[in-house]
Structure 1
Amino acid sequence: MKRMSANHEHSDGGNGMSWKRLILAGISIAVWSFIQPLPASAQHGGGGAGAGGGGFGIANPGSSDTVTQRRWIVAGMVTTLGGDPISGATVVVKANIPGGGRKSLRTDIQGRFTTDYWLNVNAVGEFRAQLEAFKKGSPKSYVVVDMRPADRAQRFPITLLDGDDDPTMLSRADLISTLAARLQAKAATAELSPSGRRAYAKGLEEFLDQHHVDQALIPLTDVVRRNPSCLPCRTMLGLAQFDSGDWVNAEHNFTGVIDANEKGESAASPEPLIAYGELESWRHQPGVAAGIFLKALQIAPQDPLALQELGRSQMQLQNWQGADVYLEKALEAGAGAEARFLRTRALLGEGFGIAASKEMASYLNGRDLKTMPVFVRQVSTLIEERKRLEESYAKVRPEDVVRTMTDPRQEPRDLQGLETATDQSPLPSILAAVGKNVGEFLGNFPNTSSLEQVRQEKLRYMGAVGKTRDQDFRYLCFAPTEVWGPTFTEYRLDSAGSPGALTGLSEGFMLTSGFAATSLLFHPALQSHTVFRYLGRQKLNGRDSFVLAFAQDPAKARSISMFAWGDQRVELFLRGLAWVDTESYQIVRIRTDLLTPLPEISLNEETTDIDLSEVHFNRVAQGFWLPQQVTVTVAWKGRLLRNIHKYSDFKVFQVNSTEKTSNPKQPDSK
C-alpha cells in the first residue's frame, strides 16, 4: 500500500528453526532477583556468590557457631514490562521462618534492592519467601520462591505494570476467566491426592473467587511441585503468575506444558499456547504472538479465543485485511463482544466506514455510546468521519470519471500527441495481457533491494521550490501472497544496515512509500474493482504505448493508498492513467490522482507519477519492471509538498547475501 504521512514522525513495519526457538528468539530478560544461601563455614568457601559460582563461608558476627549458621541473601531488581528499572519501588520480603521474616526495602536508582537472613540450617533446611513489589500508580506484583540450601543463585524477576490494563490488549481478567473454566474441567480428571485436590481447590478459590492472587500462589505452587504431571494445574499456576507479575516463571510453566504436550506426555491442549501468546502480546511482540496463536489453531482450528487473538496480533501489525479474516472466523466460532469490537476497528482500518458502523452497532447492542469507555467513543468518532468520506465517494461515478479523461484537454500535460481511440474493443485484450504480466510479476518477484534517494520539498507559490531535505536508504521489497490477497511488504534500512524511516514530519515535510503496490490495480483478481477505458495510442520515450484511464469503484475496491496525519488515517481511492508498451504489455508509466478531492480532511490533491524500467538480475531469466523515479505531490491544508524518489543499484536480496544486477534497461528508441 502506498503510504503518505503529514504530521507526527513514525515508522512502519521461513527457515528450519523449530517453533519454540523462533518464538523465544525475540525474548530478552533484563530483570532479575535472587535468594542465595551462603554457607558460613570457611572450609566450604572459595567460590563467588553469583549465578554459576560456588558459595563462600561467612560466619554470623553475633554467633560462635560457624557451622550451622547460613546467610541467605535476597536481592534483585524491579523493572517495567519493557525492562526499564523502577527506582523508589517498595519490596516487601515475607519469609516463613521462625521468629518472622518480614522486611521492607526500597529500590535504588537502578531498580535494585538487597537484604539477608541468618538461619540455623539444622532448624531450617528450606523455607519459602514471597516478594511483593509495588509503587504508587502500579498494581502490586508477587513472586513466590521455595528456597533450599544451595550454592547457586536462584533468579526471579519482579515486573510492575503501569497502571491499569492496556485497553488495546485482552485484559488479564478476560484471559483468566476464559481459560480457567477450561482448565478446571481438565484438572478434574487429573490424578491428585486428596490433600493435593484440597490445596488446588483452595488455590482456585483465592485466585478465581476471592481475587487474592497473592494467596493463591502458595497452594497452587505446592500442587504443581507435588504433582508435576498435572499439566492443567501447571497451566493454571502460570496464569496466576502472569496475573501476579511473575512473568518469567509464567513463561517457564507455559512452555513446560507445551513441551510436554509435544512429547506426547498428555493430550495436546491449546490453552497453554493461548496463554503464552497473550503474554507475548503484552510484551508488545505481535509477530511472535501470532506464531504461537497459529500453533494453538493447529490443535483446535475453531478455538474462538485463539482466532480472536490472532486477529488482534494482525491489527497490531497493521495487517487490517488479515485481521478481518481471522476476527470474522472468531465470531463464526462463537467469540463474543470483544471480537466484534476488534473487527469494527479492523474494518475501519481497511477503510470500510459503513461496514464498521454496522459492526459497531452490533457491538453496542442497544447500549448508550455515551456510557462506553473513551477508546470505544474514539473509534465511533473515527467511523463517523469515515462515513462522511464514503458519502463523498458515493457521489462519484467512476464511469463518468474515466469518460471525462477521454478528452485530451482534461490532461494537457500528459496526453499531448494522443491518437484517440475510436472504440473500446481493444480494451479487454489489453487488460488480459497486462493482468497476466502483473500476476507473473507478483508470483515470480524475488526479494530485492535498491538504493533509494529521496528529496523532500516544500513548494511555494506557482510551484517554486522552498526548503528541501535529502535522505538515502537501502530499500527492501518483498512480494508475499497472503490468503486475503496480493500485497507487497517494504522496508528501509539506513547506511548502517539498521531499520530506518523517512524523517522530517516535525519540520513540515511529507513521508511517502509503497509505490510497488500501484500496479496491483491491474492484477486479475482486482481488475473488477476498477473501471477502465482505452484512450488510444501515444509515443512514450520513442515507443508506442496504449494509454488507459482508470478509476477505482469505492463500492467494490480495496484501497491501495493511505493518507495519515497524527493518529488519523484515511484510505484513498484513485483515478489515473497508465501507459502500456504495445509489444510487451508492460506498464511503463502510471500516474494516479485522487478519485475526488476530500475537503472533509482538507486534502485537495495527491498525485503520484511513477516511471518504470526493466531490471535484469544475474541468474534470473525474467526481467522485472520496477520504479525508477516516483514523484508525489500533495496539497493539504493550504500546504504544497513534493517528494521525489529515485531508485538504482538493484540487487536480489536474500537472508545472508545479495546479488548484483545489471543496469536498468530503458526502452529502446526508434
Structure 2
Amino acid sequence: MSAVGYEPSSRTIQVTDTLHATKQEIILRADPAAIDLEAGEEPMSAKARKATKRATADLKSGKFKDARKQLVTAAALAPNSETVMFLRGYLALQDQDMEGAKRLLTNAVAAAPRDAQALELLGRLQLQSNEYGLAVKTLERATAASPSRALPHSLLGSAYLCDHEYGKAESEASTALQLSHGELASSYVVLGQALAATGRKAQGVEALNIFLKRDPNATISLQVRDLIAKLESGHEPVALMAEPLVAAEDTKLISQPWQPVGIDEVHPAIAAGVACPLEHILSVTGTHMDEFVEDLAKFSAVEDLLHERLDKAGYPLTRESRKFDYVAAVSRPSVGALTVQEFRSGRYNSDELPDRIVTNGFPALALIFHPDLRDGFEMKCEGLGQLNSQATWLIHFQQREDRPKRIQDYVIDGVNYPVDLKGRAWISADQLQIIRIETELVKPVAAIHLEYEHQITEYGPVNFVSQKTQLWLPKQAEVYMDFRKRLYYRKHSFDHFKLFSVDAQDAYKAEKHSVRKPN
C-alpha cells in the first residue's frame, strides 16, 4: 500500500473465511524526505491558478507529459510566479535535466528568498553536482527558512561532510534525526562518518549499522558495509572521508503543516551523562537580564516587517512588507514591574498595518528569565544540546497557574487578554546568554478565537564601540498565528543597532505585545 507523502508498506494477509468481510488496518508512516507540491494561493489569474493546480495533480500522479503541458500554459500566464518556477524545476529534475532544474529553481529562489522547498531542492542538486560550497550556502538558507523540517538539516550535514566540516555535519545530522524522530535514515550515514572522522570510530560504526537496519535495500548499502569493514579493520577514518558517502533522498511528495513543530512534540538531542546546573544558569542569565534593565539601555535599530496571510498549506495568500526606524527601552517604574517602551517611525497602528494586526514587545520575551519575572514560570533543564554547532543549555518553561501572567497579552477593543505561555530557551554554555527562545500558547484563548500562536525569537551579540558595551538583542522574531479562522505569518528583522542613554522622563509611548481587532 502506498500514498503520496507516506512510506509504502506491505502486509501478507491470510483469508480463511470467504463468506464474510475481513477488516485489516495498515498504518502508513509519514515520509520525512518528501517534497510538497501543493500549489499555494500566490496571487495569479484564475486561468493560471487552474493550470497550476492541474499540473500539481499530474505531477503527483506521475503524469509528467500532461504536467508539462499545464506548466507551459501557467508559465505563459504567470511568468514571474515562484510556484510555477518551482514546479517546472521539479519537473526538470524528474526529466534528469539537471541544468534546467538548477536554472528554474535559482529563479524560484530569487523570486521567493524564503521558499524552503525551492532552497532545499536547489541545494540537493548542488550537492549532487559536487558544488559543496554553493550547497552549504543554499541549504543554510533552507534550514533557516524551515528550521523544523528534517531533510534540509540532513542535506546540509552531507554538504558540511563533503566540505570536511565534521563538527557541523554531526550537529546537522543529529538535528535531522531529532526532528524526524529517527525516521530519516540517511542522516545516520552523515552522522556515522562525522563521528568516525572526529575520532569516535565505534560510535560511527554504530550509526552506520543503524542505517543498514533501517534501510537495508538502499542504493548505497554496499558502500556503507564496505566502509564499516574498513573502519573495523583499522583504516584511518579521515583518509576514508576524502570522498564521503552521500545518501541523497529521492524527490518524493508530501503535504507539510504550515506551522512549526510544537514545543512538547520536539525532543532535542542532548549529551549523555552531563549534569545540568540549573540554579547557576538561571542565576547568571538573570544577572544579564537585570543588568540590561538596570542600565536603562535604550537602542535603536532598523526594522523590516514581513506579513503574510496563509492558506492551509502554508502558502501566502497575501504578502506585505514595511520598514521602520525602531527605538526600544527597558525600564523599571516600580519594584517588581518592568516596562518595555517602543517607538517606530511612520504609522504603526491597526489602521495602517496588514490585517489590522499590531505586534510589539519582542525584546520583552527574554525577560521571562529576569529575577522579577521568572518565578511566574516552572523551569526545568533538559540538558546540554547544540544550536548551530554551539553548545547550549536547553531550558523548558511554562506559566504557573498560581502566578499572574505578566509577559504577554492580546488587546482587543481596549480589553486585555493575558495568555499562558510555554516554551524553550537555548542558552549558550560558555557565556550563558540567551540565543533563541520559542514560545507557544499553553491553551487556545476561546474568548478571542485565538487557536494557535508560536513565536521564535533569535538573539545575538551587538557591540556598541563608542560606549564600550555589548548587548544581546533580538535579531529576528517570527510569529505564526491561527486567529479568527485565519492563518498568519509575521517576521520582524532588526539590524543597524545604535545605543544611547535613556532619560527616565522620556515620553515614548509604551505598547504591550497586542493584537488589534481585525476587520
Q: TM-score, normalising length from structure 1?
A: 0.34
Determine which structure has more spread, i.e. the larger CA radius of gyration: 1
